[in-house]
Amino acid sequence: INELDIVTDAALDMIEDKFSAVEDFELLEKNEADILYRSPFGLKFRMHSCDSRKMIQQVFRRGCSLEFETIFTQQFPSVDFEACENDEDIFKQAGLHFIPPCQREMIAVIESAKAGALPPLINVTDIKGIIHSHSNWSDGGSTIEDMAKNAMAKGFEYLVISDHSKTAVYAQGLPVEKIYEQHLYIDELNTKVAPFKIFKSIESDILNDGSLDYPTGVLSTFDLVIASVHSNLKMNIDKAMLRLMNAIENPYTTILGHMTGRLLLSRKGYPVDHERIIDACAANHVVIELNASPSRLDIDWRHLDYALEKEVLISIDPDAHSPEGFDDVKYGVLIAQKAMLTKERNLSSYNLGEFEAYLQNRKRLKNI
């Protein structure tokens, strides 16, 4: 978050007087209707003052994208905002199904609302399993058993342990002998935690040529494989696409992890052709991860509509390195809501039986 917009009917002079008493808040700009402050933590607050009769309209305007607002006001010029008590009244006047604030970004959602075709929002309660998690076998902070017990306590039906692979030496990635040892340990744990289930996975590094960093004999021992780029991130688009496309075409790649490698507010992702990647995932039956870590949120939600159009399955995954990290799924859900992702198109919303069946069917399809 870079800036918060706050709408109030308080006078700007009163706002300025109150903020002047707050230590370390910096006044950045002021005009006839707005006053902008920066907090000691760097977050900006834009205070917009308006007549109380204009409150609903101003809240609506500042709660949607400029593109959405422009098209909405062009198509529904007769909406009387001053007669509205809340934003639901705005859509009633327009003759539309209610569009939640999180979806007031794209023009397409207006057409869906006209047709009465807005899908139900995916919710945190729709997440049935934790896919993509790291234990203390690599760079996680908890044992697999503790991760499983916490997942069970939170009501999840399964846990995918996907520790780092051998190339990720910095993250204590697993050599082959450790993988086999871990698999035996997971088998033992599964007898204790049933009907809950722990799945054997790995976050396999995508190497410079796009290959994964284990031979097929090792990859075949996993229930699923998450393929991700972690090294040599300073690539041009040709190099990035070569690596990603080759990884997607590997039959053992089940999920493409954090597609661009971005870290929000600290590192831009490497350049990619999102549509080509999505097309390749559709052709190769590869799931695209929506990495729910608040520092990633990768794939960017603005590309999800094309993925859904191409019937590519998405997976909201927390990339958890501790049980506390499971809660990050909420950020992925909030982002997914913006793109109208439904639980039916999200892999981590599959219940245990559906998830097991999906993995088995995909292995048969890929003949692996």
Lowest mean pLDDT among 33-37, 115-119, 232-236, 256-260: 115-119
pLDDT confidence of residue 335: 96
Q: How many domains does the chain have?
A: 3
Work out the mean pLDDT of the chain and round it to a whole number.
96
pLDDT at 20 over 90: no
Per DSSP, the three-state class of 344 is helix
Q: 94 lies in a domain?
A: yes
Enclosing domain of residue 68: 59-118
Instruction: Tell me the per-residue pLDDT of 137-155, one tens digit each, with 9 for 90 and over.
Output: 999 999 999 999 999 999 9
More confident site: 17 or 185: 185
Write down which residue in 118, 134, 159 finishes a domain. Answer: 118
Rounded Cα distance between 225 and 223, Å, is 7
pLDDT confidence of residue 82: 94
Residue 223: give its domain's CATH number.
3.20.20.140
Instruction: Tell me the per-residue pLDDT of 271-310, one tens digit each, with 9 for 90 and over.
Output: 999 999 999 999 999 999 999 999 999 999 999 999 999 9
pLDDT confidence of residue 106: 86
pLDDT confidence of residue 160: 99
Q: Say yes or no: 131 and 267 in one domain.
A: yes
Q: Say yes or no: 141 and 101 in one domain.
A: no
Rounded Cα distance between 15 and 269, Å, is 39
Q: How confident is the model at residue 22 (pLDDT cuts 50, 70, 90)?
A: confident
pTM listed for this prediction? 0.91
Residues with Cβ within 8 Å of residue 33, at least 6 apart in sequence: 12, 48, 49, 50
Instruction: Tell me the per-residue pLDDT of 310-327, one tens digit each, with 9 for 90 and over.
Output: 999 999 999 999 999 999
Q: 323 lies in a domain?
A: yes
Q: What is the DSSP annotation of 7-56?
A: EESS-HHHHHHHHHTSTTPEEEEE-SSEEEEE-TTS-EEEEEE--GGGHH
pLDDT confidence of residue 41: 87
